[in-house]
Amino acid sequence: MNMTQKIKQISEQKILPLTNDVVMQMYFTREGNIEQLKQFIKAVTHLTDDDLTKVEVKNPKLTKVNVGDKDFNVDVNVTTNTGDRINIEMQVKNHPGFIERMVSYNARNYSSQLERGEDYVQLREAISIVIVNFSMFDDTDEFYEHILFRRKNEKVFTTAQQFIIIDLTKISETPSDAKEHWASLFKAKSKEELDMLSQGNDEISSAADKLADLSADEDARYWAEMRHRGKMLRKTLENVAREEGREEGREEERAKAVNEKLEIAKNLLAKGISNEDVADITDLDLESVLELVKD
């Protein structure tokens, strides 16, 4: 079955989006998709075919229990034949501490290469490829950032730890190179988009074919839905907590406003203003004003 036939086969279903981190992990770790993983890494990093003759994926095993957990972290962790460590992560929402967490994960990926007593010169590069679906840097329109540790004079201090940021919100509608084609594949949501991306590009055509296969898989769709529900649960809980915080704030504001009205009412009463007029002026009920008179 060719690409067009497979797309027609799932015409009644939406393409599983690679922006769903579970879908991304299933896609790159699925049996038969190792070539797509290599091609993606080669497209967005400096690594070559020689560096990627063998890649080993080391990931937490997905189960139908943990995939719906709102706090379950999903990524693709890869070791190459040259020993480089690569972590691929999908992030759809920015949050406080995201950059710090990203740096921490990469540092752990770097330092975990050595056993006690081994020489530091054996350490290989640790590369974090982070695909984001929000504007991470407001000072640029570039969708691709390769971040290295640099000295004050901008010369590279070390390539030991690297960060590659791919901003899906800034990619062109007409991709011009391999990086943009892969980024566009991450954003694809329909058979028409897959078909368009596949035209004249054998590598992306094959990658889109694999995504069509995955999208037609009932288990994959189930897992993707469970992940979506887990994220929706997290969002709901966050909204509830935020609303409860607002309500607490409103109660404090209301209490403060009432106290201010009571102080004004006391001053008016001290000046001989009638109870009824005080209630009218301050918008307090007459019973509250009468309580002040008793005091």
Amino acid at 202: D
Q: What is the DSSP string of 107-148?
A: HHHHHTTPPTT--GGG---EEEEEEESS-S-TT---SEEEEE
Per-residue pLDDT reduced to its tens digit, 51-88: 999 999 887 555 544 544 444 456 899 999 999 999 99
Per-residue pLDDT reduced to its tens digit, 94-115: 888 889 989 999 999 999 888 8
User: What pLDDT, on a 0 to 100 scale, did the predictor assign at position 8?
Assistant: 47
Q: What average pLDDT does the structure give for the chain? A: 82
pLDDT confidence band for 38 (50 / 70 / 90): very high
User: What pLDDT, on a 0 to 100 scale, did the predictor assign at position 225?
Assistant: 79
Kindly report whether the global pTM for this prediction surpasses the value 0.75. no
Residue reference for tokens 């960060």: 163
Residue 242 in this model has a pLDDT that exceeds 70: no
The top-scoring range by mean pLDDT among 84-88, 191-195, 259-263 is: 84-88
**Closest to 34 measured CA to CA, from 20, 52, 10:** 52
User: What pLDDT, on a 0 to 100 scale, did the predictor assign at position 115?
Assistant: 81
Identify the three-state secondary structure at position 177.
coil
Mean pLDDT computed over 137-154: 94
User: What pLDDT, on a 0 to 100 scale, did the predictor assign at position 286?
Assistant: 78
Q: How many CB atoms lie within 10 A of CB 115?
A: 7
What number of CA atoms fall less than 13 Å from residue 73's CA on the CB side? 10
- Cβ contacts of residue 265 below 8 Å, gap of 6+? 278, 279, 282, 284, 288, 289, 292
